[in-house]
Amino acid sequence: MGSAAIGQHMQLPEGLLDRCRRHDRRALEHLHRLTFSLVMGLCRRYRRSEDEVRAAHNGAFLKIVQHLDKYREEVPFEAWTKRVTINYLIDEWRRRRDHFAELSAADVGSRSVPNEALDRMEAERLELALHQLPPMTRTVFNLYAIDGYDHTEIARMLDMSPATSRWHLMEARKKLAEILGLQPTTKKKHHG
C-alpha cells in the first residue's frame, strides 16, 4: 500500500482521503489523529484560552473534511491542511471582530531541540512578548514570520494594504526587540 508523506513523522495511507470523503468514521478518526498536532498548534497561535483552542480545532477540522473534494494531490497535504486551518481562523476572526483581542501566539512552532526545558522557557518568553503586541500587529507577525505568508496575501486576508502589513511587521519586530531586550538590527531597505 502506497502513502503520501505528511511532514516528517506522519504518513497518509493511500485511500484514506477517499474513505474520508465517503464519511467513513474510522478514516475520519485516523485523519483527525494525523492532523491533530498541526491543527492544534495553529489554533493555539491564534486563540488564548484552551476552550477557544479546542473549539477552533474542531471547526478547522470540520472545514478540512468539508473541503477534501477541493484538495489536489500535487499539493502536499500538510501544506493544504495548514492553509485551510489558517483561512478558517481568519474567517472566524472576521466574523467575531469584537473578540479580536483574543488572537494570540500561544504556540511558537514545533521544533526539536536537545534541551527541551530551555526551549520551553524561550517559547514561553516569546509567547509573553507576543501577547504584549497589539492584536493586529501580532496577527501580521504570526502570518508572516511563523506561517510564511507574504505581505500581499496578508493584506488580502486582513483587508489592508501590503504597505500596512509591512508596517505592522516592522512594528512587531521593533516592539519584540524592546520587550525581549534585544538590540535592534540595522535598518535595511527591504521590509520583510
Domains within the chain, CATH numbers bracketed? 1-104 (1.10.1740.10), 109-192 (1.10.10.10)
Q: Per the confidence metrics, is the pTM higher than 0.85?
A: no
| Per-residue b or e along 80-109, where b marks 16 or more CB atoms closer than 10 Å to that residue's CB | bbbebbbebbbebbeeeeeeeeebbbbbbe
Q: Could you tell me which residues come within 8 angstroms of residue 70 by beta carbon, excluding any fewer than 6 positions away? A: none
Stronger pLDDT, 103 or 21, i.e. the higher one: 21
Question: Each residue of 78-114: pLDDT tens digit?
Answer: 989 998 998 888 877 766 654 333 333 333 344 334 4
Contact 169, 144 (CB under 8 A): yes
